[in-house]
Amino acid sequence: MPKLIIDEREITVPEGTKVIDAAERMGIMIPRFCYHPALGAVGACRVCAVNCLDGPIKGIQMSCMIDAQDGMKVSTTDAEAVDFRKHVIEWLMLHHPHDCPVCDEGGHCLLQDLTVSGGHGVRRFQGPKRTHTDQHLGPLVRHEMNRCIQCYRCVRYYQEFTGYEDLGVMQIGSRVYYGRYRPGTLESPFSGNLIDICPTGVYTDKPSRYRGRRWDFERRPAVCLHCALGCHVTVSARYREVVRQEARFSESINGHFICDRGRYGFPYVNLPQRPRSARVDGTETGWEAALKTAGERLESVAWKTGPQGIAVVGSARCGLETQGMLKRVADAKGWQGPVLDIDPAAANVRTAVSRLDSDLQVSLREIETADCIVVVSADPLNEAPMLAPALRQARRNGARVTVIDPRPASLPFQFDHFPVAPDDLAAAMAILIRKCAEKEPLSELGKTAVRSIEAVSDGADIPDADGLAALYDDLHNSRRPVIVCGTHTAPPEIPGMAADLALLLRIAGPRAGLFYVMPGPNSFGAALLSDPAPSFGDLVSAIEKGEIKALVVAESDLFGSGIDWDRLRNAMNKLELLVTLDYIDSPTTRAAHILIPTLTSYETPSLLINNEGRVQQSPAAFRGGDPIARTGGGDHPPRAFRRDIPGREMGAAWTALLTLGGRDPGSAPVNLTAWLGEAHPALTSLPEASDFPPDGVRLPLAENAVERFQTDRFSHGEKEEDALTLLVVDRTFGTEELSSLSSILKELTPSPFIHIHPEDAAELGLSEGDAVGIDSEAGTTVLPINLTPEMARGVLVIPRRRDLDDRLPQERRTVLSKTAIRKATEDA
Amino acid sequence: MAETTDTAYPQVLFANRKLDRIAAIDDYRKNGGYEAIETVLKTFSPKDVQKLIQDSNLLGRGGAAFPAGMKLQTVADDAPFPRYIVCNADEMEPGTFKDRVLLHADPHLLIEGMLIDAYSARAEKGIVFIRPEYENAARILEREVAIAEKAGFLGKNILGSDFNFSIDVHRSGGRYICGEVTAQLNALEGKRPNPRKPPPYPTEFGLWGKPTVTQNVETLCCMPPILRNGAQWFKDLALTETGAGTKLYGISGRVKKPGCFELPMGVRLSEIIDEHAGGMAEGSEFKACLPGGASTRYLTREHYDIPMDFESLKAVGMRLGTAAIMVFDQSDCMVGVTHNLMEFFARESCGWCTPCREGIPYIKDILWRIENGLGEERFVPMLERECRHLWNAYCAFAPGAAAPLEGLLNDFQDEVLDHIREKKCPFKASV
Amino acid sequence: MLPTNVKQMLNQQIQAAEHPRELAIDIMMAVQDHYGYLSDEALEEAAAIVGVDPLKLEELATFYTFLYREPVGRYVIHICDSVICWMNGYESLRDHLCKKLGIQMGETTPDGLFTLLPVCCIGYCDRSPAMLINKKAYGPLTPAKIDEILETLRAEAAETTPS
């Protein structure tokens, strides 16, 4: 632990700390352009100069390039250092255009700030300014190369950190140019971070161009809703709209960056078709009135059928407040449910939640320090995008990353892929688990796990069984292995087997971790707060049988449940009453008898539990209401003054549920935190809103390994001959519910197609360029094929586009007879 | 060719130099060529070679004057394999052409030098990094490497030993920065040739992450004679106490006989100009010279008799650099000369760090204004400030560029002020 | 498209290399020799041979002096403008060449024969003023010598170009 003096104050820092970071720990922010904690030091910009007055290194030094050492005496205020730093600014301003009034970076521009703080104001250079041609980089990022100060951050971030190769650095000397080989949309789904990382306005946010200065915005922290990772964002709202989002640092989750789905998924908040007025039987009414009517009608159904004739449904995008309230109301009223997760993956999530314990759980950032990672039945880039860069950092640190999944996996780094068919995934896991059991003198509990997989085929017949056995050796020899397990399309035994493997590895030696990938931002909460039965399927059957007559649906689109749309429509037609509370326009809101609009998580605080079991608070960013773009003619607040906010006559879903549950809106405020504690023991000690730590709190999960091995036995049906498994899978853009409504991301959503292994295609008589027709419950879907050798045999993979859901089979995993797949003719 | 070898001084590097042709392997062997490597392989350990070179006080001839033996010694005994030897033939310092002459004179001297260097670093692969302007030399080298291989001096089990060594010629795409050792490693790896900041040093983490020893052509060529004749002999070749060996002095500009001359280290500048280069050109009076390429300060009349070795120049705040002497006379405008040098540095800056990328074109612009009658008095302190701050650049490129500018401001400030006062270049005939 | 034999030879070089990227410059030079300059097509072919994204080669091609990303003539004349050549009359020789060829620096003669480009010190200060034509050095130059060189090259071009 070196001890040094910076500006006459002593500090002791860990070995390997850069002087620039040591100073920052003391609250001394040494200027920097090229240095970034996530990207490391390269010493290019030279603006972090300090003077080393004494010690092992002397003279003007770049504080990012030197490690803190014993006996160093560093001055950041030394006249020579200050003069040099000021001069660096002058150099960088030689060619920087004075277009700050029309630059979206203006006001939060590092170059602007340092120019002012450095005291540079008068231009002495009389030469011409260098100019560049800008490139079109797609719908998200705007390119303005004239502003560039050549700090190399963008290219280091893009190529080194996230592993994409289509943005680079060209030319030489003062002509250095950052861009693509040809103009075109950036390929990285993390490209938006260029906007955050650029210290000036070379890369700016295209969708929010010219929409306002930073200080015009209501800027608040928020938690991203577009997958289960719970990355941190900063929201900028103006004129009652969300305008822009940026990455917000999180030590435990996303570090400095977010994905483009998270950054640009927000427009659902601003959409004109967003429900903003309550409706009863198609007629607009006030919010309170609609709630009152809903309450009366529910009472009437209950009077006729008994309380069990009413069921309540939520979703994985509901905050804990809403999920908890659904449970409280259902319990109090004797209604059925709640069903809190209607996603087909709900059962897998439930297994995952029951198997995570405090010993095993790892955060997203901790994955970066793993040295051997097995990803099973998950597709990081598409299901939880920020997992991909985390895995890449692990790879850069030397980790082996292996994916066991039938899909054509793509990750921005070198990894091993076992394209195992869904039916063989359990066998593949069984190989790893058995190998562990063979090698280790297992205690009784290990034997339990091995017994539980006896029902699974021995795996000898799956492709590359030897490779998997060798993978076990790597796992065993690693220091910090992590098993990443998906839930979206995983066969039901996989999440449990992943936990078994992690636990067995712990017994075998390495400090194994477990990381589940889940579909929704609060899938975890839904699993925690609801019971396995009834499932949403059970509810639909009960509706079909006439046992359930009324449904209360909070922030949930039933048409994403994996149940065939025709069946669902028929069932809903049988309902006497459908009360829908939501902030998006969906088939479910459109079918509602009573529609109660609700506030988004941008407008009301909400608690969410991410996939790791971390409860986070997403405070309200602004107060909601009709966007001024709609009410004020576009560009300026109307000058008619009123006390209330137009279009804000709504509340959070949980407050509406409270009313539906019979509580008088005027009664004393409820203690939600206490109520959540009553709903589940793990939630008893949640901090109060004002005390919530920035990275949330990890739930206290049981550490009781003995009882935690999987005991269910899974029996596999005989493999059907001449059958193919059809997987309908997530993709980065276009699948996740809320971001699929984003106008910004539309351009990045590819047209639908189907992946098929070339050998399967050959057997079916298909070749590149063909389209196939697939018969399923949904009817016939015709899609072009994409011959993909890097995938499992016997599998068809359709990347799901939610806006085309009605044309696709609803099940995420279906077995199709080969006869159901045929080459589509011209007229099809 | 303009060069001649009519000198009384011992010719070590140019021993086999013919005026009309390249020394063939037989010419080389006739004069004891490849004897050194034979002896080394039979009787020397790698450490012995390192020590001998260290004792000979051979300083790097590429411009930085780093002790060649010490560089070899920084390859740790347990450093990983493969290890690489890189011969830096990317001679791009303006005014410098000695390596070109040497490569055309006696290619086998270099090959044997690389063999000795490689043996002492236990490297099995050698690469000659050569600038594209020297395509002819590259072809000669490729041809002679093949001949040496046929003769058993390169390849596997050289001369019956267990030492293997091969040489590849790598042609650069052409940029001054590629001569910088770490930038050269990036260039060799097919990356943009920006310099890398040590640590780690190339001798521990160099080409492809493996230990790599880079030496200049002339440095390597000194090794066979040292091995043959001993360290003391080499030291005794120099005229000065601190110097060692002979040196190739390239001289150009306002002299009668520009050329490259092998002279003892420490020979006086006056002797080089007056005797070897045939004196100043007709009507020329010595005004100043750059003693060792574009990255050195101007040497003025007062130092006309200075011994041209590393230490003597250092003592007066100068650098010997590549010993490429560029001579200027009374008709040369030092503002114009310096502007031309800045044009060179600005064009060749790799663009990695701010001082170099922005500072040098800034200086160039100011000098252009002064030279073209647009100068202002305030430009002088501005230039002084630029100069001072160039020293804080990432690599030695910008400090190199600062050297002639410092010289201009220190030794020729009157000339600069004359430009500014007269609002024109006093050396240009008025129209 | 590169002729099959050229492509094959380059592919073999890459396959034999321990680190294919170390041949990036050689491959680009070879492809450039074939096309005369590194057109987009040429650069993309070179990238395919090296096995990298075209951008990776563009990052290099735009860095180096002797890789031409724009069309050049059959003879690329690089006139040295560094200090020794500059004081030995670079400017008047340059003007002479421009006049003789009827083009400015950076341009190519309409017959596609000559391109004029500046270059930094080429290491021929002892034979200054000097220039480089297709990597061959000429110096010391005088206007008369330049005329002679141009004539020789014109004749050579006429001889080797099928009419």
Query: Considering only CB atoms, which residues of chain C are within 8 Å of chain B?
Result: 19-26, 28-29, 50, 59-61, 63-67, 81-84, 86-87, 119-128, 132, 135-137
Distance CA B127, CA B106 (A): 18
Task: Identify the CATH class of A3-93.
Answer: alpha beta
Identify the pLDDT of residue A302: 96
Distance of CA B83 to the CA centre of its chain: 24
3-state SS record for A800-811: CCHHHHHHCCCC
ipTM of the modeled complex: 0.96
Identify the pLDDT of residue B1: 39
- Could you say which DSSP state residue C18 is in? S
Q: C135: distance to nearest CA of chain B, Å? A: 5
Q: Which residues contact B98 (CB under 8 A, 6 or more apart)?
A: B91, B218, B248, B249, B250, B260, B322, B323, B324
For the segment B10-17, the average pLDDT, to the nearest whole number, is 96
Rg, chain C, Cα only? 18
Helix, strand counts (H, E) of chain B:
18, 9
Identify the pLDDT of residue B3: 44
Q: Do A181 and C53 touch (CB under 8 A)?
A: yes
- Structural domain count, chain C: 2
* CATH assignment, A348-518: 3.40.228.10
CATH number at residue C109: 3.40.30.10
Distance CA A130, CA A110 (A): 21
C48 and C81 in one domain?
Answer: no
Which domain does C31 fall in, by range? 4-61
Distance CA A270, CA A588 (A): 19
Distance CA A671, CA A661 (A): 16
Q: Dig out the tokens for C14 from the structure.
A: 């890459």
Distance CA A298, CA A300 (A): 5
Taking residue A697's Cβ as centre, other Cβ atoms within 10 Å add up to 17
Q: Do B346 and A176 touch (CB under 8 A)?
A: no
Phi and psi based region of residue A295 (left: phi greater than 0; alpha: psi -120 to 50; beta: remaining): alpha
The mean-pLDDT minimum among A469-473, B151-155, C64-68 falls in A469-473
- Reduce the DSSP state of residue A418 to 3 states and report it: strand
* Nearest Cα residue in chain A from B348: A173
Task: Identify the CATH class of B238-329.
Answer: alpha beta
User: What is the CA angle A745-A747-A751, rounded to 5?
Assistant: 110
Identify the pLDDT of residue A685: 85
Using a CB-CB distance cutoff of 8 angstroms, which residues of chain B are in contact with residue A62? 392
The domain locations on chain A are: 3-93, 133-269, 279-344+524-698, 348-518, 723-823
Distance CA A516, CA A362 (A): 9
Determine which of C14, C84, C86, C134 to mutate to test the interface with B (most B C-beta atoms within 10 Å): C84
- Residue A283, beta-bridge partner list: A280
* Cα atoms in the 13 Å half-sphere on the side-chain side of A189: 25
Band (B4; pLDDT cuts 50, 70, 90): very low
Identify the pLDDT of residue A598: 97
Distance CA A34, CA A45 (A): 6
* Cα atoms in the 13 Å half-sphere on the side-chain side of A91: 30
Touching partners of B (3+ C-beta pairs < 8 Å): A, C
- Of A136, A144, A156, nearest to A202 by C-alpha is A144
Q: B325: distance to nearest CA of chain C, Å? A: 10
User: What is the CA angle A472-A473-A475, rounded to 5?
Assistant: 60
Report yes or no: A508 and A476 within 8 Å, Cβ to Cβ. Answer: yes
Distance of CA A207 to the CA centre of its chain: 20
Using a CB-CB distance cutoff of 8 angstroms, which residues of chain A are in contact with residue C58? 168, 170, 181
The domain locations on chain B are: 25-235, 238-329, 334-420
Fold classification of B334-420 is: de novo design (two linked rop proteins) (1.20.1440)
Say if strands B125-130 and B84-89 run parallel, antiparallel, or are unpaired: parallel
Q: A413: distance to nearest CA of chain B, Å? A: 19
Q: Which residues contact A180 (CB under 8 A, 6 or more apart)?
A: A135, A137, A166, A167, A168, A186, C55
Using the predicted structure, report yes or no on whether residue B133 has a pLDDT greater than 60. yes
| Burial A573-606, CB ≥16 within 10 A → b, else e | eebbbbbbbbbbbbbbbebbbbbbbbbbbbbbbb
Q: Dig out the tokens for A103 from the structure.
A: 């630059």
Taking residue B363's Cβ as centre, other Cβ atoms within 10 Å add up to 25
Distance CA A799, CA A814 (A): 14
Identify the pLDDT of residue A570: 96
Say if strands B246-253 and B259-264 run parallel, antiparallel, or are unpaired: antiparallel
Using a CB-CB distance cutoff of 8 angstroms, which residues of chain B are in contact with residue C126? 2-3, 97, 101, 250-252, 258-260
Phi, psi of A25 (to 5 degrees): -60, -30
Q: Which CATH architecture has domain A279-344+524-698?
A: 3-Layer(aba) Sandwich (3.40)
- Is B384 buried (19+), middle (13-18) or exposed (0-12) by CB count in 10 A? middle
Distance CA B127, CA B166 (A): 8
Fold classification of A723-823 is: Barwin-like endoglucanases (2.40.40)
Residue C79 vs residues A183, B295, C82, C92, C131: alpha-carbon distances, Å = 34, 22, 9, 11, 4
Identify the pLDDT of residue A437: 76
Identify the pLDDT of residue A142: 98
B247 at A interface, C-beta within 8 A: no
- Of A260, A253, A264, A257, nearest to A229 by C-alpha is A253
- Of A9, A39, A8, nearest to A18 by C-alpha is A39
Report yes or no: B276 and C150 within 8 Å, Cβ to Cβ. Answer: no
Q: Write down the H helix ranges in A514-627.
A: 523-529, 536-544, 565-573, 587-590
Q: Dig out the tokens for A308 from the structure.
A: 């069990």
Touching partners of A (3+ C-beta pairs < 8 Å): B, C
For the segment B101-110, the average pLDDT, to the nearest whole number, is 97
Question: Could you read off the pLDDT of B288-312 as tens digits, one per residue?
Answer: 999 999 999 999 999 999 999 999 9
* CATH assignment, B25-235: 3.40.50.11540
Q: Do B382 and A49 touch (CB under 8 A)?
A: no
Report yes or no: A150 and B357 within 8 Å, Cβ to Cβ. Answer: yes
Q: Dig out the tokens for C150 from the structure.
A: 């141009």
Identify the pLDDT of residue A441: 63
Distance of CA B369 to the CA centre of its chain: 32
Residue type, B146: A
Phi, psi of B414 (to 5 degrees): -60, -40
Instruction: For chain A, list residues with pLDDT below 50.
Output: 704-706, 827-828
C156 and C119 in one domain?
Answer: yes
- Of A667, A823, A796, A805, nearest to A741 by C-alpha is A805
B353 at A interface, C-beta within 8 A: yes
Using a CB-CB distance cutoff of 8 angstroms, which residues of chain C are in contact with residue B344? 82-83, 120-121
C149 and C93 in one domain?
Answer: yes
Residue type, A174: S
Identify the pLDDT of residue A713: 56
Q: Which residues contact A775 (CB under 8 A, 6 or more apart)?
A: A816, A820, A821
Q: Dig out the tokens for A136 from the structure.
A: 């079109």
Taking residue B414's Cβ as centre, other Cβ atoms within 10 Å add up to 9
Peptide bond into B80 cis (omega under 30): no
C56 and C108 in one domain?
Answer: no
